[in-house]
Amino acid sequence: MADNQVLSQEQIDAMLGGGAAAPDPVEVAEAPAATGPAPAAPVPAAPPPPEPEPAVPEPPPVAAPRPAPSAGPPPQAGPPVAAPVAVDDKLVERLDKMESVVTEMKQLLDATKQELKSETGQREAIATELADIQKGLTATIGYRAQESFTCTSCQTVGQVAAPLNCTSCGHQNWWGWWPPQQ
């Protein structure tokens, strides 16, 4: 008998030789009825509801492990088993290459994720520092002076300068913005 053949319970019982085999359903149907009152007309049964289709396909059945060989009679020879399919070495090589490429891509993706996390942290730190610098600049006297200064005498906007003193020699210089010379 072939290893992949499914046996009925009757066949299993007959092989094991234990217990009486169950009567054949055809024989039971053909046997004369017991004496007694005639049975009432059978009530027609409602058709069974249709089976719902599973949302996820069922996995293929798992092959049961083979029992250890016994010292009993040798198994009967079944139909010939198909020879293993020849494997194309080029296809196997291509598949191996594809698997290695997929593995390499997964590693690169993980490394890229780590770099992005690191760079995101660095960007956040730089943004915080810039916000602190800008906050400090807004507190200085010359912050945005060119955009916000208007002379009270001639109403010129943005033409502003401040005297600066050299701390080494004491010489006074001017720093700022002047109108273009004509």
**Residues in the chain where the model's pLDDT stays below 50:** 1, 21, 28
Phi-psi region of 170 (alpha: psi -120 to 50; beta: other; left: phi over 0): left
User: Can you give the pLDDT at residue 41?
Assistant: 58
Residue 129: inside a domain: yes
Residue 89: inside a domain: no
| Selection from 28, 25, 32 nearest residue 8 by Cα | 25
Residue 39: inside a domain: no
User: Can you give the pLDDT at residue 65?
Assistant: 62
Q: How far apart are the first and last CA of the chain?
A: 113
Residue 18: inside a domain: no
Q: What is the pLDDT of residues 65-114, one digit of tens each?
A: 666 655 555 666 666 666 666 778 888 889 999 999 999 999 999 999 99
The domain tally of the chain equals 1
| In contact, 177 and 161? CB cutoff 8 Å | yes
Residue 118: inside a domain: yes
| In contact, 145 and 160? CB cutoff 8 Å | yes
User: Can you give the pLDDT at residue 175?
Assistant: 86
Residue 127: inside a domain: yes
User: Can you give the pLDDT at residue 24?
Assistant: 58
- Structural domain including 127 reads 113-137
Specify the length of the chain in residues.
182
Residue 130: inside a domain: yes
Residue 92: inside a domain: no
